[in-house]
Amino acid sequence: VIVSDLSPKGLNERLVGTGLGLHVGPFVVRVRTSIPSIERGIATLYSAFPVASESEFVDFWLEFSPVRGLRQLVRPQVQFSFDGLRPFVPLPLNHAFPMFEWAMNWCIAKHVHQYLIIHAAVIERDGMAVIMPGAPGAGKSTLCAVLVNRGWRLLTDELAMIVERDGTLMPIPRPVSLKNESIEIVRNYAPGAVFGELFLDTKKGTVAHMKPADDSVRRAKERPHPAWLIMPRYIPGSPATLRPASKAQFCLQMANNSFNYNILDEQGFNMLADLVERCDCYDFYYSDLNQAIQVFDNLRRPDNNASHPE
Amino acid sequence: VSSTSKRYGCNEGFDPVWRKLEGEFVVFDKNSGDIYCFDRGTRELLQLLQKDSLPAEAIETRLSSILDVEPDEVLVGYVESALRELARREIISVSNT
């Protein structure tokens, strides 16, 4: 059963009742809420996600509810509860869906340590993956959103998860979060893509989410090998240029982008170094997305890489 | 105190795991959790200082032999610069004898 198999009434009853269980990548997330915008977001953006049964083990129990009291009459707010805790300050009620997405990121980044987790987008083609770490504003999510509409499979736009025993990447395809100008840019490049609602004046500016392709969601158990580490940098006027980068420097940058290498300690360091060693590392400067697409299409499989996905 | 009486040694907690990546060395300090990137010369220097605390002149002589380079002013400048950087990162410390 996937979310789109549920009737609107069935979806609502689960969300307000015992919670809707969703298989999100390798995790089971159970969501309980009565907030209509979260329900609409799930119906639109998570329509292809498998529904978990009541008896399945739940990794993350998320609850979103309106803040009670007089405030709800003046400036209604939403609060997030996780295992009975409230780790975030409440947000305006009309930002409930972005809060749902941020909460899920937080749960994974904060609590999942069976994988090395790096703040990066990951896309795959022919069993070989590109990991794209990047500072905010570097154009990582924009590039990712465009490429997954041009033949690449989405693994994540936010949380690259590396499996310790074989160095493969665990997919966790979820809606791609786009901000400000990049929303219109991606709409123009991918007129067929499905978008959720537009959220104005969030803490990250205007935010919209692009639905992951059904194929990416269906293939969430296929773990590709990483082949390229590419650090994108949007530079106005720059031709699309891939420049080989120092692996040692890349290792340091990846450590800075990792949520948990320090928790994983020596094992985390070895995983990082193994990852960098087996990938081709590039800095990527671009301004024109057509040129960027061309560069990615021309990527050649590194010689030193294992060649088959799991 | 003259500069010749200074000895350089690794700080006690420094507990490195080394990885060579295309001619450069990345090191993870198990004690602090920090990661650093060094060239071969600095790696050799650090490995010397892990065994013993040494004055700069002895470091220069030994590095000259290990790296097979002349013990000239270039090497002296290199060692001075590396020692300064390692001290700034609190990986080594200086003692006066």
Chain A residue at shortest CA distance from B20: A248
In a 3-state reduction of DSSP, which class is residue A176?
strand
User: pLDDT of B12-44, one tens digit each?
Assistant: 899 999 999 999 999 999 999 999 999 999 999
A265: which chain B residues are within 8 Å (Cβ-Cβ)?
30, 33
Compute the average pLDDT of residues A151-176: 97
Residue A305 has pLDDT above 90, yes or no: no
pLDDT for the residue B1: 42
Task: Test B37 with A247 for CB contact under 8 angstroms.
Answer: no
Task: Test B17 with A276 for CB contact under 8 angstroms.
Answer: no
Residue A13 has pLDDT above 90, yes or no: yes
Q: Which two tokens stand for residue A200?
A: 């104005």
B30: which chain A residues are within 8 Å (Cβ-Cβ)?
265-266
pLDDT for the residue A302: 67
User: pLDDT of A31-67, one tens digit each?
Assistant: 999 999 999 999 999 999 999 999 999 999 999 999 9
Q: In chain B, pLDDT over 90 holds for what percent of residues?
A: 88
Compute the average pLDDT of residues A102-111: 95
Comparing A81-85, B45-49, B60-64, B76-80, the range with the smallest average pLDDT is: A81-85
pLDDT for the residue B84: 96
Residue A308 — φ and ψ, nearest 5°?
-125, 140
pLDDT band at A303 (very low <50, low <70, confident <90, very high): low
Compute the average pLDDT of residues A214-229: 97
Is 0.85 exceeded by the ipTM? yes
DSSP A83-110: TTB--S--EEGGGHHHHHHHHHHHHHHH
Q: Is the CB of residue A24 less than 8 Å away from at least one CB of chain B?
A: no
pLDDT for the residue A308: 38
**B15, B17, B22, B89: which to substitute to probe chain A, counting the most A Cβ within 10 Å?**
B22
pLDDT for the residue A282: 97
Task: Specify the length of chain A in residues.
Answer: 310
Amino acid identity at B13? G
Cβ–Cβ < 8 Å for A182, A142 = yes
Cβ–Cβ < 8 Å for A42, A3 = yes
Compute the average pLDDT of residues A222-237: 96
Q: Is the CB of residue A279 less than 8 Å away from at least one CB of chain B?
A: no
Nearest CA-CA partner of A237 in A280, A195, A285, A167: A285
User: pLDDT of A250-300, one tens digit each?
Assistant: 999 999 999 999 899 999 999 999 999 999 999 999 999 999 999 999 997
H-state helical runs in B1-97:
40-51, 56-67, 73-88
pLDDT band at B4 (very low <50, low <70, confident <90, very high): low
Cβ–Cβ < 8 Å for A64, A99 = yes
Q: How far is B42 from chain A (nearest CA, A)?
A: 14
